[in-house]
């Protein structure tokens, strides 16, 4: 999907091999995932049959940082490229309240299906049919934790249906990297940095 000057894939990456043909390590064990400081991927709940085709795979940032995760002609977007997408949508009327000063573009990015419902006007989960005016088709693929955060056990899966998280290729602090997030009860494209061992979705952008 072309959005402004950028061309994005309209689904999350689900490759199990780098573009040089080498297999990416599949990590199913929770402890192994938590302790991993090298590339790895998994399927949500270790269940490819249920989740692969819809949500793609979850990758840690070490896999992203190989620069071999995306297919030839594509790459994992930088933090700046995510910001370019955000700025284009805000400047071109995709933000919910019609201004150019507020990042309320979540509905424009989110798919019209699979999100949990919300009663809050203007959020992703409220009146899903109004979502996805940009064509980006973001889905709530959840994540895999690398520690016992937010009440989840180390290596546990969570949040499918209520949130989506997408890595950038940009490092934050030494142990962290920047990512973007959407939440069913929210109306903005969030920006944060997370521990590199988290399992997040990946969207590719054309070179």
User: Tens digits of per-residue pLDDT, 101-116?
Assistant: 678 999 999 999 999 9
Q: How high does pLDDT run on average in the chain?
A: 93
pLDDT at residue 173 is higher than 90: no
Length of the chain measured in residues: 207
Q: Among 92-96, 115-119, 171-175, whose mean pLDDT is lowest?
A: 92-96
- Start-to-end Cα distance in the chain: 14
The proportion of the chain whose per-residue pLDDT surpasses 70, expressed as a percent, equals: 94
* 202, pLDDT greater than 60: yes
According to DSSP, the β-strands at 157-160 and 141-144 are: antiparallel
- CB of 33 within 8 A of CB of 198? no
Q: Which of 43, 36, 88 is CA-nearest to residue 62? A: 36
Residue numbers of the domain that contains 157? 2-206
Decide: residue 33, CB within 10 A, 0-12 exposed, 13-18 middle, 19+ buried.
buried
Report the C-alpha gap between 56 and 12 in whole angstroms.
Answer: 5
pLDDT number for residue 152: 54
Cα angle 59, 65, 87 (rounded to 5 degrees) comes to 85
pLDDT at 34 over 50: yes
Structure tokens at 183: 């939440």
Task: Tell which residue, 57, 193, 54, has the closest CA to residue 115.
Answer: 54
Model confidence at 150: pLDDT above 60: no
The domain tally of the chain equals: 1
Full DSSP string of 101-153: SS---HHHHB-SSSPPP--STTSTTSSGGG--TTS--B--EEEE-SSSGGGPP
> Nearest 5°: CA angle at 106, between 100 and 111?
135
Is the pLDDT confidence value at 204 over 90? Answer: yes
Model pTM score: 0.94
């Amino acid at each position: 999907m072309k959005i402004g000057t950028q061309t994005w894939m309209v689904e999350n990456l689900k490759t199990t091999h780098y573009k040089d043909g080498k297999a990416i390590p599949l990590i199913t064990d929770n402890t192994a995932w938590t302790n991993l400081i090298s590339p790895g991927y998994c399927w949500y709940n270790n269940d490819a049959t249920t989740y692969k085709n819809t949500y793609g795979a979850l990758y840690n940032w070490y896999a992203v940082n190989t620069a071999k995760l995306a297919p030839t002609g594509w790459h994992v977007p930088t933090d700046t490229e995510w910001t370019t997408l955000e700025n284009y949508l805000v400047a071109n009327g995709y933000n919910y309240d019609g201004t150019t000063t507020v990042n309320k573009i979540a509905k424009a990015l989110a798919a019209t299906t699979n999100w949990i419902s919300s009663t809050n006007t203007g959020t992703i989960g409220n009146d899903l049919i109004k979502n996805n005016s940009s064509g980006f088709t973001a889905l709530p693929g959840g994540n895999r934790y690398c520690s016992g955060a937010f009440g989840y056990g180390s290596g546990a899966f969570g949040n499918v249906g209520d949130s989506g998280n997408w890595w950038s290729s940009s490092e934050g602090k030494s142990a962290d990297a920047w990512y973007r997030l959407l939440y069913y009860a929210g109306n903005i494209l969030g920006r944060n940095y997370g521990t590199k061992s988290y399992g997040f979705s990946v969207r590719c952008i054309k070179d």
